[in-house]
Amino acid sequence: MGNVPEILKSKKIIMLPIAGLVANTEYVGTLEKHINDVVSYAKVNPNTIFYMDEIHMIMGAGQSIVDNSDVSNLLKPYISNGTFQIIGATTLSEFDQTIATNPAFRRRFSTMTLNEPNETEVFRIAKQYISVKSQEVKIERNFDDEFLQVIVHLTNSKNRKYFETINNPNITLKIIAGMFASALYYGSSCVNKRDVIESIQDNEILASPKKEELIRELSLDKFYTLSDSTPKTRILTFPTNNFN
């Protein structure tokens, strides 16, 4: 799906959480074992690329007071010889404050700056995200593309009206995820007006006055004929896959 470079078509990308690497590393040798396990997997599966979000956190992660070894130093030789293939993501400010200050580690990477997607791109990303989530939690979206476009426009960080520090598509996807999470929580078969409102009200980034203003601007009555938003009986049973 999409335009995948030929060199990547045979690759398998696995997310590698930094927290997992440093778990229980208060015990001597634990970090080294975790790194060795991952590297051993990479050797057996050479077409694997590991993805690390917030990659700047590996600088100093799991550092030992005995020999100053940390995740970055332990992985460095395997990244250099190509055994451990990695894609990392971070912000420009975090990169400048951490990785860029360590030339020995910095030169092992090629950097690529990704700009925030425009509204058209966010709409396409959100639509695909909704399709996947709807199938995952078995809940119908129950809103059309016009309403999705309104959500994308109002959560567009470029207008800086509601969200001043977080960029898209994170904002839009967070609102949509909250809508499905609310429907799942109430045991609904589809996303309705109540779920949109709760997703916004539960958003910790927005101050209360802005939440109410955003809800008004969404013009929910235009898109939802459901007048009764009284919560159904709440249930506490969830699918095996956690909803993120």
Q: How confident is the model at residue 230 (pLDDT cuts 50, 70, 90)?
A: very low
Q: Give me the count of residues in the chain.
A: 244
Q: Are 171 and 163 in contact (CB under 8 A)?
A: yes
Backbone dihedral region of 68: left (phi > 0), alpha (psi from -120 to 50 degrees) or beta? left
Q: How confident is the model at residue 65 (pLDDT cuts 50, 70, 90)?
A: low
Q: How confident is the model at residue 170 (pLDDT cuts 50, 70, 90)?
A: confident
| Domain range annotation of the chain | 7-106, 119-223
User: Across all residues in the chain, what is the average pLDDT?
Assistant: 81
pLDDT at position 236 = 36
pLDDT at position 151 = 87
pLDDT digits (tens, 9 = 90+) for 79-110: 988 899 999 998 888 999 988 898 888 888 88
**Lowest model confidence (mean pLDDT) among 73-77, 129-133, 236-240:** 236-240
Six token digits for residue 72? 């970055």
Strand order in the sheet with 12-15: 12-15, 48-53, 85-89
Six token digits for residue 212? 């109410």
> 3-state class of 36 per DSSP?
helix
> 3-state class of 131 per DSSP?
helix
pLDDT at residue 235 is higher than 60: no
pLDDT at residue 1 is higher than 80: no
Q: Which of 29, 23, 84, 78 is nearest to 52 (CA)?
A: 84
> 3-state class of 43 per DSSP?
helix
CA atoms within 13 A on the CB side of 42: 22
pLDDT digits (tens, 9 = 90+) for 193-212: 888 889 888 887 777 788 88
What does the alpha-carbon distance between residue 16 and residue 7 come to, in Å, rounded to a whole number?
21
pTM, full prediction: 0.66
pLDDT at position 66 = 57
Average pLDDT score over residue span 179-195: 89
Would you identify the CATH topology of the domain 7-106?
Answer: Rossmann fold (3.40.50)
